[in-house]
Amino acid sequence: MNDLSGITIDRYKIINEIGQGGMAVVYRAVDTMLDRSVAIKILLPETSNKEKALKRFNREAKTLANLSHSNTVKVLDYGEYEGSPYLVMEYVSGGTLSSKLGTPMPYAEAAAILAPVARALHDAHQHKVVHRDVKPSNILINESGQPMLSDFGILKLIELDETQGITGTGKSVGTPAYMSPEQIRGKAIDGRTDIYSLGIVFFELVTGRKPYNATTPIEVSLQHLHDPIPKAKQIIRDVPPDVEQIVVRSMAKNPEDRYPSMSSFAQALEKLAGITTVTPHTPWEFKSPESDQAPHKERTKLNRALWIGAPLIVVLGLGLLIFRLLSEPPATPTEPTAISQQTATPASAQIALVATDTVTPVPDTPEAGYTLEITTPTLVPDTVIQASNINRIVQVNRLDKISVVKLEWMQNGSAIVNAGSSGISFLNPDGLAVQEKISMPGEVPLGMALSQQNNRLFILVGGKVKVYDLQTYKLSASYPTSGGANSIAVSPDGKLIALGISDNKVQIISAVDGHVISNFRSYYGGWSVAFSADSSMVAGGTSQGVLMWEVGTGTWLGLEGEQTSSIKSLTFSNDGKMLAGGSKDIIYVWNVADGNFRYQSEGDFGDVYSLDFSPDNSMLVSGSEDGTVRLWNTATGAMLRSLTGHTSAVFGVSFSPGGENIVSGANEGTIRVWGVP
């Protein structure tokens, strides 16, 4: 769009451009009829070519124009210019609430600032409008010192449903640091999502810091979903119970546990601020705080001079705004295009979390997951998240002080089994809650093997193979092993156990009583072992490549190709036709029948610690040293997707029985479930 400075649109004379986002341009203009400054936001032509979307825009513009609360930035007019819709809004010069962040604010002052904002939001909710992006930068302070709620640009009109009440459906959009759990999951929302966001703003004002900090937007979002609500008292020692109560209630994970309405939240803030007379259309009135707040009395007076900053235009968004409605909902991509999850293609500006099977890409920037090693996380910028786009993550759980050694999805789909530094955990695939746990005090498993044929779990730990009954979760047997055993596999028929031994052999023992059946010798120590689907062959990954034998005869079966590095992971395809081995920066794949080399997939991902074929054998998933989960096409060896978010080596990956999801576990203790296209 050409610069429109100097032209007149209807009665509005454009003075100059003051901002441009990806979807619209914002101008300062003069209303020639009323002789006042206004802000005009004009949608870029390339985003406004759909008749249905334009009708939706007009409908929302009318709704916004009906918001008349004194603490809401007004939409004054709307129209169309050369096919592009535009909004005319109040022009507000002044600072934003963001300028007050970084140091703790007296709690009564914080409440006094946010109470009118809560009233403005309540007014919006009464008009069936949910803001969905409440944050400090969207709360302006005008020249009179009044807070002004702005940027309904990504609002969601909601319809009254007799069974659900006021709800919203569809894609979730917002800023990760302030998004509610239900918004992140892409679930239906109502006004309580704004309560959560405003509660975070309150916490940030009172403590001087955000409640959830991490290095990437996706990790912040996951903290909203799973981490407990931080206590303000742990940061500011003299915080009274009333402040903690506001934090806990407004930031409750479950919407049912929050304030029932924005009006009730406003009342709590007004009580804390000592405001005696408040109506939806009157400015603040202050009285001295109660005696228990005496140390803060002087500080509760708003220093309005501090609010005057560089001129700032209040618009319904400079980035992704209401005009998202002018685009049809994006179709699920068939190839990666751009939370925390990186795909095979360069990242785009958006990230997205899906609590469903929707597929989506990820930013190409460095990302980190929950990790016990991050001591000084950097703050995440106010990136916009769209729930349909996230790197396909479905569930995440951080198991306290568990570093994942191996995990596997049970074939009946009932649980995900994880072996880690605090024992064995059985996780519910729907939500990743721990269903059962086997403690192993003072012991760290070296490996795990599931015999789903006879409901037994084999754990390699402390020089023994410990056998657990999967129905009772009790130890049923314990077999001693040769010294140096460092990997374990169980045959699909449940009869044999293979052990990778560091003194140059793969040992086969009975799964029934542990007696040694055979030893397959090599010139190099064993790093990994795997049985074929029919239990007839066993492969051993050594420090110098892969070896394969017939179990019954001990016949060595040669594999084509020159390998000179340690094989840290092995897996056979479910049809027994392929064998995959993971090494440093390389994944090898062979045909089992003749040992011929199919291909190798290379990259800069370090050691590959875990591999698994999809149930239909069309894909191979890998977990590697760089903390990335990758999907590979087994026909060509091409990478289909890379899924990022873990902050340390991924030691376990496994497809769900139906192949619709992948579970991954990393050394930092994070377990994730990803959707599969």
- In DSSP terms, 480 is beta-bridged to 464
**Cα–Cα separations (whole angstroms), residue 116 to 99, 200, 264, 273:** 18, 16, 12, 11
pLDDT of residue 589: 96
pLDDT of residue 532: 96
Q: How far apart are CA 195 and CA 264, in angstroms?
A: 10
Q: Are 15 and 31 in contact (CB under 8 A)?
A: no
Q: Where are the alpha helices (DSSP H) in 136-256?
A: 181-184, 192-207, 217-226, 241-250
Residue 615 has pLDDT above 90, yes or no: yes
Residue 650, Cα to own-chain centre: how many angstroms?
Answer: 17
Residues belonging to the chain: 677
pLDDT of residue 333: 31
Residue 642, Cα to own-chain centre: how many angstroms?
Answer: 15
DSSP string, 476-544: EEEEE--TTEEEEEE-TTSSEEEEEETTTEEEEEETTT--EEEEEE-SS-EEEEEE-TTSSEEEEEETT
Residue among 496, 495, 553, 554 at smallest CA distance from 520: 554
List the structure tokens of 201.
């703003």
List the structure tokens of 402.
């568990």
Q: How far apart are CA 485 and CA 460, in angstroms?
A: 8
pTM of the model: 0.47
pLDDT of residue 242: 92
* Domain 393-675 indexed as CATH 2.130.10.10: yes
Q: How far apart are CA 70 and CA 286, in angstroms?
A: 18
Question: Which pLDDT tens digit goes with each residue over 333-342?
Answer: 322 222 223 2
Most confident of 50-64, 431-445, 584-598: 584-598
Residue 407 has pLDDT above 50, yes or no: yes
Please provide the average confidence, as pLDDT, over all residues in the chain: 76
pLDDT of residue 525: 66
Average of per-residue pLDDT across 419-426: 85
Query: Please, is 564 exposed, middle or buried when counting C-beta atoms within 10 Å of its C-beta (0-12, 13-18, 19+)?
Result: exposed
Phi and psi angles of residue 267, each rounded to the nearest 5 degrees, phi first: -65, -40
**Which amino acid type is present at position 99?**
S
pLDDT of residue 204: 95
Q: How far apart are CA 471 and CA 583, in angstroms?
A: 36
Match 């392929």 to its residue by tokens: 578
Question: Which pLDDT tens digit goes with each residue over 451-485?
Answer: 987 899 999 998 899 999 999 999 999 999 877 78
Instruction: State the pLDDT confidence band at 175, using cuts at 50, 70 and 90.
Output: confident
List the structure tokens of 378.
């950097």
Residue among 122, 109, 101 at smallest CA distance from 382: 101
Match 């040694």 to its residue by tokens: 516
pLDDT of residue 417: 94
Question: Which pLDDT tens digit goes with each residue over 275-294?
Answer: 754 343 333 333 323 333 33
Question: Which pLDDT tens digit goes with each residue over 66-119?
Answer: 888 888 988 888 888 888 888 898 887 777 898 888 889 999 999 999 999 999
pLDDT of residue 551: 93
pLDDT of residue 167: 34
- Domain boundaries, given as residue ranges, for the chain: 393-675
List the structure tokens of 660.
């619709």
Residue among 470, 358, 413 at smallest CA distance from 654: 413
Report helix angle 262-273 to 192-207, nearest 10: 20
Average of per-residue pLDDT across 629-633: 96
Question: Which pLDDT tens digit goes with each residue over 128-149?
Answer: 889 888 999 889 888 778 899 9
Question: Which pLDDT tens digit goes with each residue over 8-61?
Answer: 999 999 999 887 765 678 889 999 988 889 988 887 775 545 565 566 667 767
